[in-house]
Structure 1
Amino acid sequence: MAHPSQLGFQDAASPVMEELLHFHDHALMIVFLISTLVLYIIIAMVTTNLTNKYILDSQEIEIIWTLLPAIILILIALPSLRILYLMDEINEPHLTIKTMGHQWYWSYEYTDYEELAFDSYMIPTQDLTPGQFRLLETDHRMVIPAESPIRMLVSADDVLHSWAVPSLGVKMDAVPGRLNQTAFIVPRPGVYYGQCSEICGANHSFMPIVVETVLLEHFENWSFSMINNA
């Protein structure tokens, strides 16, 4: 969960999000160094004789400002491509969940179980209990086992939506008539919040996502009770 006056990202709750945070710090440091160099050159040009025409027409400087950006782009592109392919890998998932975006709620179907499906609506403000978060709590959470690869199949029933949980590093568009997929793994139990990240209509901000990660035995008990109560 984010907290008041927070400046950075939420704490990473998945290996993919940890890689994204590391890449963010890597790219931010490169941007900081570039900004510092440019600022130094601007100050030097204003306060010294750096604007001498022999320096500005130097062949060496032209070579440097051509090669340096190319090297910087390579330093950014290589780790970026690595993470991109890492996010696309789906190797023998233990559980597959299909989610459909509706105006304005999410529905979940556990394809590995028979008759395990439910809709997830936001809890109205007047119905919240102490400790629950406004605009983020749902009446039914998506429960998954910890330390298990999860495959998400994402689509929509009406308009464009986006299933996104920042702390898990997951954001997948829900497109009507198209089935997108993504995968993630959560190494520890916890509750993680997200929201639709596509402007889908008047109640776009009222279709939150709650992912609850539990131990495997607790997940089995939960799935058994949900099927029996269906």
Structure 2
Amino acid sequence: MGKTFFRLRSLTALIAGVGAMAGQAQAAEGQPSPWQISLQTPVTEVAHAMHDFHNLLLWIIGLIVAFVAALLLIVILRYNEKANPTPSRFSHNSLLEVAWTVVPVLILVVIAVPSFKLLRQQLILPPSDITVKVTAHQWYWTYDYPEDQGGGFGFDSNYIPADQLQAGQPRLLAVDNELVLPVNKTVRVQVTAADVIHAFAMPSFGLKIDAIPGRLNETWFKAEKEGIYYGQCSLICGQNHAFMPIAIRIVSEERYAEWLAEAKTKFAANDNNGRPTMVASRLASR
């Protein structure tokens, strides 16, 4: 009795601990968390649709697994040699054959409808308020703001080494120059690469698109919440692939206007057509 009580108490404590860690992980926004068991919190329309589609597939897969497991259990218990020494000899059942053809087709239709809707949301770009060009390099990002939208400057974004991190900055995700954009604005993102194939990925935005040399790919997002959100290059692009994070800071329209004015002065003062000169020295130190 004592051992049973101890085991139950230990199991309860374990479940409570896992639940607490899961709650903590799910509460974090914009970056992965230790012991995370769910997707990052969505902050765009596309990301919400992706999460809904993911959850629908989990229910469908779970029901299929449970149904197949129940059938296997029935076969094992009812039709083994001991319980059923004289097996049936029939080889066809028209109703059953129609059912196992029609039911999977219906399941695929249920999956296809939200799948095509999600693809349409991702691939058909709505009219944009802001356009940003993203260029991938080995191993950093360059962001360009067009002049006709109040920009006319660009800058490089490099990861911050672990020994230079400040309080609250996540390791291998924090950068020296964040991509700053306003909340509740449709942002068109044009993505290319200068050397090899990379991928621009931001989980909280439901965004992932290849950066290919000589090609300009486009995607979009409309962030509904202020904050800082982290992503990474999600293609193995070389030895420093793990040191190529993305940081997007979403701010109010007023703060964005202030940042634009500050950024014009800050990045116009740098050499190399508005690019910070720290890139070459940082790459040489790796």
1:78 pairs with 2:108 = no
Question: Any conservation in 2 of the 1:147–1:185 contact (CA below 8 Å)?
Answer: yes
Cα distance change on mapping 1:141 and 1:45 into 2, 3 Å: same
Give the match for residue 50 of structure 2. Answer: 20
Give the match for residue 186 of structure 2. Answer: 149
Give the unaligned 5+ runs of structure 2: 1-30, 269-286
How far did residue 109 of structure 1 move? 0.2
TM superposition outliers: structure 1 runs of 4+ over 4 Å: none
1:124 pairs with 2:124 = no
Question: Any conservation in 1 of the 2:230–2:245 contact (CA below 8 Å)?
Answer: yes
Instruction: Find 1:99's aligned residue among 115, 121, 134.
Output: 134
Give the match for residue 238 of structure 2. Answer: 201
Give the match for residue 183 of structure 1. Answer: 220
Cα distance in 2 between the residues matched to 1:135 and 1:77: 37
Instruction: Find 1:218's aligned residue among 241, 251, 255.
Output: 255
Question: Any conservation in 2 of the 1:89–1:183 contact (CA below 8 Å)?
Answer: no
| One-letter amino acid matched to 2:174 | E
Give the match for residue 61 of structure 1. Answer: 96
**Secondary structure, aligned partner of 2:32:** coil
Cα distance in 2 between the residues matched to 1:216 and 1:114: 14
Cα distance in 2 between the residues matched to 1:53 and 1:9: 50
Give the match for residue 3 of structure 1. Answer: 33
How far did residue 114 of structure 1 move? 4.4
Cα distance in 1 between the residues matched to 2:176 and 2:228: 14
Instruction: Find 2:76's aligned residue among 28, 38, 46.
Output: 46
The structure number with the bigger radius of gyration is 2
Give the unaligned 5+ runs of structure 1: none
| One-letter amino acid matched to 1:208 | P
Cα distance in 1 between the residues matched to 2:137 and 2:55: 36
How far did residue 173 of structure 1 move? 0.4
Cα distance change on mapping 1:52 and 1:20 into 2, 3 Å: farther
Cα distance in 2 between the residues matched to 1:95 and 1:52: 70
Question: Any conservation in 2 of the 1:160–1:175 contact (CA below 8 Å)?
Answer: yes
Q: How many residues align?
A: 229
As a proportion of its length, which structure holds more strand? Answer: 1
Kindly, what percent of the aligned residue pairs are identical?
37
Question: Any conservation in 1 of the 2:151–2:260 contact (CA below 8 Å)?
Answer: no
Cα distance in 2 between the residues matched to 1:136 and 1:53: 64
Structure 1, residues 60-116: CA drift from partner, whole Å, max 9, x if none? 111111111111111001100001101122222000000000000000001234432
